[in-house]
Amino acid sequence: MAKRVMDMAEADRPREKLVRLGAAALRDDELMAVLLGSGNAQMDVMTMSREFVKHIDGKGLDIKLGDLIMPGVGEAKAAKVLAALEFARRRIKPAGVKILETKDVLPLIQHFAFQRQEHVLCVTVNGANEVINTHTVAVGAMDNVSFDPREVFSRAVAEKASGIILAHNHPEGDLKPSGTDREMTFRIQKAGEIVGVLLLDHIIFSRNDYFSFAEHGVI
């Protein structure tokens, strides 16, 4: 479990770490802690930050103010985070991002490579291969994750997506698809054919590299 900010050495505290090393050196929960500034009597800022990140990962660009309000967290902090996300979305990742090849997906998912657990992600795209949203559909143990294909396609159908790109990180760095990875891919591919949402690719990625099922002719 992560230490509370007050228990950390000063150089390791999120704000001080950002000043010393730059924003790119911080984990997601540390970046959120800098944005939130402080916790409250119910929740220290690091715990609050992890809760915010979990909610944002689950909702993607569909996140609403009410999704960020929780016991001990009111509208002020939730509004601050929501405003920051919208500001960044408009200037850094505007609508219309198009996926022409596998490497175009990586900026949307690469920050998950630093997670210690496997995260299964789904990028939804429209008929022009423009990104609609990015969702976290499952989080598992270090080397194991399972999920129901309905969790993938319920959101894709709701967003009127014509295709999806599945992705998951391998925390230990080995990018060779396991038997489970292949089985998962074929299950999603078949389910997509039934509901009319095509599986365009499945990407396994680490901090430094990736494996694409599409590029290797597996799908």
**Within 13 Å and on the Cβ side, how many CA atoms surround 125?**
23
Q: Domain check: are 116 and 204 in the same one?
A: yes
DSSP state for residue 3 in the 8-state scheme: P
Alpha-carbon span 7 to 160, nearest angstrom: 47
Positive/negative CA dihedral, 188, 118, 180, 130: positive
Q: Domain check: are 124 and 38 in the same one?
A: no
Q: Domain check: are 82 and 121 in the same one?
A: no
Give the number of domains in the chain.
Answer: 2
Q: Domain check: are 122 and 81 in the same one?
A: no
> What confidence score (pLDDT) does residue 59 get?
81
> Mean pLDDT by 10-residue block, N- to C-terminus, for the chain (219 residues)?
67 89 90 90 88 86 86 87 84 75 91 88 94 88 69 91 95 89 92 95 94 94
Residue 193: domain span: 102-212
> What confidence score (pLDDT) does residue 71 get?
80
Structure tokens that stand for 155 in this block:
């959101």
Structure tokens that stand for 131 in this block:
């990104």
Domain final position from 42, 66, 91: 91
